Structure 1
Amino acid sequence: MIKPITKAEFGVFWPTFADIIQARETYAFDPDMTLEQAYQLWCLSPQRAYAYMDEGEVLGTYYLRPNAMGPSRHISNCGYMVAPEARGKGVARKMCEHSQQIALELGYKAMQFNSVVSTNKVAINLWQTLGFEIIGTIPRAYEHGQLGYVDSYVMYKWLLS
């Protein structure tokens, strides 16, 4: 079940969130971010934030927000995180599909991911199977925790048929 995330649920997910940002493999967030800073960034400042729940456990979370303002306000932006034990089980796919439906309900016409780390092949492949295209490469945009500077991709999907 995907539902709006509560502060308590985000707190339960916090160890996973912290591990992901500290690994410096996928998210350009400060690895020293606190729980409160992360909650503000992920849950309060976006337009919406959701939890993927299964039998009371938080297996994943995502946020949805405008990618830009004014004449580009029709493009949404999302970020997704999945608990290690839930990876490869369709959680990210279901959250991405859900986010596209919510984006349409909120009046968005497109979705853009601004910085998909080029070494994150699982995510790139998933986004491509869901209709996203790589529309640009940002050279050496991400300082990977193990590999040093690697490229990031801008990925985009027009949501209307």
Structure 2
Amino acid sequence: MLIRDATADDWAAIWPFFHQITAAGETFTFPVGLDRESGRGWWMLSAPNLTVVAVDDTGEILGTAKMNNNQHGNGAHVASASYMVDPAHGGRGVGRALVEHTLDRARAQGFRAMQFNAVAATNTHAVRLYERLGFRIVGTIPEGFHHPREGYVGLHVMHRPL
């Protein structure tokens, strides 16, 4: 698996699983009705922020991540990131590789920490992965996420120093 910076042409391969994941409304706080162009604006970031893709030996996109500063000004030293793995390629370590890649990139860019502002408590697979990689839950917003089946559930803020 190779992780590389995403190009504008990669959006065509990202969009189908991006749409599937966001339309389900189970993990991201994105609007569930994003169309293709609006979704591009939410995911495909411009420098100094970045979007990357994980590809296999044939060049097929397995997953993607975006990374940016969590805040501006005096809070710009903390990074944030989001991850999506094509459900057809889940369970193969793609998510873990993307998280590790963004941690390395954030460290190389001089960030002092990484923080996730909105991890649905019901997204137990992601929470477990992030905790294994050194993140800890620093707070939970009660009923901060409206899950389509579980109702109102907690929304974790997770953090780790770099």
TM range (shorter): over 0.9
Does structure 2 conserve the Cα–Cα contact (< 8 Å) formed by 1:115 and 1:153? yes
Pick one of 133, 145, 149 that aligns with 2:148.
145
Equivalent residue, structure 1, for 2:34: 33
Equivalent residue, structure 1, for 2:16: 15
Alignment of 1:89-128 (within 5 A): 89-128=92-131
Q: Which amino acid aligns with 1:16?
A: F
Equivalent residue, structure 2, for 1:154: 157
Equivalent residue, structure 1, for 2:72: 69
Distance in 1 (alpha carbons) for counterparts of 2:45 and 2:145: 25
Does structure 1 conserve the Cα–Cα contact (< 8 Å) formed by 2:50 and 2:67? yes
Q: Which segment drifts farther, 6-15 or 130-139?
A: 6-15
Q: Deviations over 1:46-101 (max 9, x none)?
A: 70000001121110000000000122111000000001121111101000000011
State the aligned residue count: 159
Distance in 2 (alpha carbons) for counterparts of 1:45 and 1:121: 30
3-state secondary structure, aligned to 1:44: coil
The runs of 5 or more residues in structure 2 that have no matched partner are none
3-state secondary structure, aligned to 1:95: helix
Alignment of 1:71-86 (within 5 A): 71-86=74-89
Does structure 2 conserve the Cα–Cα contact (< 8 Å) formed by 1:11 and 1:35? no
Distance in 1 (alpha carbons) for counterparts of 2:6 and 2:135: 25
Q: Which amino acid aligns with 1:158?
A: P
Identity of aligned residues (%): 38
The runs of 5 or more residues in structure 1 that have no matched partner are none
Q: Which amino acid aligns with 2:42?
A: L
In angstroms, what is the RMSD of aligned CA positions? Answer: 1.1
State TM-score, norm by structure 2.
Answer: 0.95
Q: Which segment drifts farther, 41-50 or 70-79?
A: 41-50
